[in-house]
A and B are shown apart, each in its own frame.
Chain A
Amino acid sequence: MADQPVILQMQSITKEFPGVKALSNVSLSVKAGEIHAICGENGAGKSTLMKVLSGVYPHGSYSGDIVYQGEIQEFKDIRASEHAGIVIIHQELALIPELSIMENIFLGNEPAKRGVIDWKEARRRSIDLMARVGLSEDPDTPVKDIGVGKQQLVEIAKALNKSVRLLILDEPTAALNESDSQHLLDLIRGLKGRGITSIIISHKLNEIEQIADSITIIRDGKSIETLDVKADGVDEDRIIKGMVGRALESRFPDHTPKIGEVLFEARNWTVQHPTVPDRLVCKHSDFFVRKGEIVGFAGLMGAGRTELARSIFGHSYGKFLEGQTFMHGREVKMHTVPQAIDAGLGYVTEDRKTLGLNLLDDIKSTTVAAALKKITKGLVVDMNREYQVAEEYRRSLRTKAPNVDEGVSKLSGGNQQKVVLAKWMFTDPELLILDEPTRGIDVGAKYEIYGIIQRLASQGKGVIVISSELPELLGLSDRIYTIFEGAITGVLDKDEATQENLMKLMTQARKNAAA
Chain B
Amino acid sequence: MDALKKLFGGNTRQFGMIFALVALIVLFQILTGGLTLTPDNVINLFNGNSYILILAIGMVLVIIAGHIDLSVGSVAASVGIIVAITMRDWHLPSGVGILLGLIIGAVIGVWQGFWVAYVGIPAFIVTLAGMLLFRGLNQFIGQSNTVPVPKDFTYIGAGYLPEIGPDTGYNNLTLLLGLIGAAAVVYFQLRARREAKALGAEVPDQWVTVTRLVLIVAAILYATYLFATGRPGTSFPIPGIILGVLVLIYGFVSSKTIIGRHIYAVGGNRHAAELSGVQSKKVNFLVMMNMAVLAALAGMVFVGRSTASGPFDGTGWELDAIAAVFIGGAAVTGGVGTVIGSIVGGLVMAVLNNGLQLLGVGADLTQMIKGIVLLLAVAFDVYSKIQGRPSIVGLLMRGIGGNGGNGNRGVPAQPDETTKTTEVLARES
Contacts and interface: CB of A to CB of B under 8 A. Distances in A.
Interface stretch (A125-133, A155-163, A251-259, A406-414): A406-414
B411 interface: yes
Contacts of A383: 256
Given A358-B269, A358-B335, A42 B275 contact: no
A365 B257 CA distance: 12
A356 B202 contact: no
A459 interface: no
Given A380-B256, A383-B256, A387-B201, A439 B420 contact: yes
A370 B265 CA distance: 11
Contacts of A440: 416, 418-420, 423
Nearest to A354: B271
A365 B417 contact: no
A9 interface: no
B260 to A, nearest CB: 8
A92 to B, nearest CB: 8
Contact of A338 (B258, B264, B279, B410): B279
A221 B424 CA distance: 14
Interface residues on B, range: 35 or more
B365 interface: no
Contacts of B276: 337, 369-370, 423
B257 A381 contact: yes
A175 B279 CA distance: 31
A359 B257 contact: no
Interface string A323-363: 00000000000001110110000010100001111111100
Contacts of B11: 405
B425 A349 contact: no
B272 A381 contact: no
Given A337-B274, A423-B276, A379 B421 contact: no
Contacts of A17: 419, 421, 424
A372 B261 contact: yes
Interface string B255-283: 01110110011001101111111010000
Nearest to A364: B201
Nearest to A440: B419
Interface residues on A, range: 35 or more
Interface stretch (A18-26, A181-189, A194-202, A473-481): A18-26
Given A42-B422, A43-B422, A441-B418, A347 B275 contact: yes
A373 B418 contact: no
Nearest to B412: A410
Most buried by A among B201, B336, B410: B201
B200 interface: yes
A410 B413 contact: yes
Interface in B375-429: 410-411, 413-425, 429
Contacts of B258: 372-373, 376, 379, 381
Interface in B136-168: none
Interface in B62-114: none
Nearest to B270: A358
Contact of B268 (A358, A372, A381): A358
Contacts of A439: 420, 423
Interface in B223-266: 256-258, 260-261, 264-265
Given A381-B258, A381-B261, A355 B200 contact: no
A51 B429 CA distance: 10
B199 interface: yes
A51 B202 CA distance: 49
Given A56-B429, A387-B199, A20 B257 contact: no
Given A341-B277, A369-B276, A440-B420, A380 B257 contact: yes
Interface of B: 11, 195-196, 199-202, 256-258, 260-261, 264-265, 268-269, 271-277, 279, 331, 335-336, 410-411, 413-425, 429
Interface of A: 17-20, 22, 42-43, 45, 47-48, 51, 56, 90, 221, 313, 316, 336-338, 340-341, 347, 349, 354-361, 365, 369-370, 372-373, 376, 379-381, 383-384, 387-388, 391, 403, 405, 407, 409-410, 412-414, 423, 439-442
